[in-house]
Amino acid sequence: MDTAPNHLIQDLPSLERLYGDAVPASLTKEFDHIHPLYRPFIEAAPFVALATSGPGGLDCSPRGDRPGFVRVADERTVLLPDRRGNNRIDSLRNVLADPRVALLFLVPGVAEALRINGRASISIDPDLVDSFAVDGRAPRTVLVVRVESVYYQCAKSIVRSRLWDPGARIERSALPSTGTMQAAFTRGAVDAADYDAGLAERIRNQLY
């Protein structure tokens, strides 16, 4: 899609004129540390999106586990275990090149989200890694995030999306299955039915 140049915002003053001043409350809610009122959101969240940037581009990765899996070490540090995945390690590659990260925490049933911006390092400290073990299986690494800003996101986007509304749910069968996609992407090398039949067991066996 092509957009006429005169329909594009191309400088900061034009953008600021269009939107006006920031809502005061959106500024007063931001801190350079984990405020005591923000800590419960982190500890209750079973899901966080991790955004990173590197030479290969941007990445936004979903991370999920039992509530509290992101550990608050102190008011300026959170710890995120790297659970088993597909070994693409896109996020970790990016962190090595550019330590800046952003985290977006979601709590089921809660309309507000919590955001953390900071700088990350990748730890293989044996004691730290082992402290995140589940069922005897420890993550390979733990992301140590030094907090630079923390603030909550208001409820509007969750309310508009009806994310937690049971009436907004769709059946998984309404979308292509993972087997269907893998069969198409591999040009038939993967059998869709076989892949889907074993998916639940593979997930169970590879959670940790």
106 in any annotated domain = yes
CA distances from 132 to 25, 73, 81, 136 (A): 36, 13, 7, 9
Q: Report CA Rg, the chain.
A: 20
64 and 128 in a single domain? The answer is: yes
Reference 78, options 145, 152, 151; nearest CA is 145
Confirm if 71 and 147 have CB atoms less than 8 A apart: no
Residue 182 has pLDDT above 80, yes or no: yes
99 and 179 in a single domain? The answer is: no
5 in any annotated domain = no
Mind giving me the DSSP string for 29-80? T-BSS--TTTHHHHHH-SEEEEEEEETTEEEEEEEE-STT-SEEEETTEEEE
Residue 4 has pLDDT above 90, yes or no: no
53 and 124 in a single domain? The answer is: yes
149 and 180 in a single domain? The answer is: no
28 and 75 in a single domain? The answer is: yes
154 and 174 in a single domain? The answer is: no
Residue 164 has pLDDT above 80, yes or no: yes
184 and 131 in a single domain? The answer is: no
Domain, as residue range, for 193: 170-205
State the DSSP code for 92.
Answer: H
**Could you give the angle at the alpha carbon of 94 between the alpha carbons of 89 and 97, nearest 5°?**
135
126 and 182 in a single domain? The answer is: no
188 and 155 in a single domain? The answer is: no
118 and 141 in a single domain? The answer is: yes
pLDDT digits (tens, 9 = 90+) for 58-112: 999 999 999 999 999 999 999 999 999 999 999 999 999 999 999 999 999 999 9
84 in any annotated domain = yes
Residue 139 has pLDDT above 80, yes or no: yes
Confirm if 39 and 72 have CB atoms less than 8 A apart: yes
38 and 119 in a single domain? The answer is: yes
- The pTM score is 0.93
98 and 195 in a single domain? The answer is: no
Helix/strand/coil for 120: strand
40 in any annotated domain = yes
Q: What is the CATH number of the domain that holds 102?
A: 2.30.110.10
2 in any annotated domain = no
116 in any annotated domain = yes
66 in any annotated domain = yes
Helix/strand/coil for 14: helix
Query: How many structural domains comprise the chain?
Result: 2
Residues 115-144: what's their mean pLDDT? 97
1 in any annotated domain = no
